[in-house]
Amino acid sequence: MARIFFNGQAMVGGPFHASVADALLGPVSTAPGYRFFSIRDECPGLLADPTVETAIEGELYDVDLAHLRDVILPGEPAELELGVIELADGSACLSMLLARGQLERGVHQEITGFGGWRAYLATLGRTA
């Protein structure tokens, strides 16, 4: 089993939630020090940045490693990679991060100021 922080389409109400619904532990947020980016308005990605004080909202799940490998990761876009983050309580867990080299491409909209995917989607008139 692996604890993973979801902050996009796998959260409650999102189109991919059904595949992880039974693994939900509850709402959480990252520790301060993360930026947040939209990948084509399809999904978000985190980026650690110790110079910022922002925390990002999401949900914590405890998923089977085989499910992570076989179901979750194959559905993630190439712009994201699996990494380890810090949660507000100081514990570590997995999450999908903006892949190395993606920030430099300059094509992903920064949405850090919204604090979470749902708040950003609301500005687009969407809930998921």
Smallest Cα–Cα separation from 63: which of 100, 87, 107, 93?
93
Give the pLDDT means over successive 10-residue stretches in the chain (128 positions): 97 95 98 98 96 98 97 95 98 97 95 97 92
Instruction: Fill in the DSSP letter of residue 73.
Output: G
Q: Domain containing 98 — which CATH number? A: 3.10.490.10
Please tell me the total count of domains within the chain. Answer: 1
Stated pTM of the model: 0.95
The two three-digit tokens of residue 73, written as one number: 């990761």
Q: Give domain status of residue 128, yes or no.
A: no
Domain ranges, residue 33 = 2-123
| Calpha distance 1→23 (Å, rounded) | 10
pLDDT in the model for residue 127? 87
pLDDT (0 to 100) of residue 128: 79
Two tokens at 33?
Answer: 């020090």
pLDDT recorded at residue 30? 98
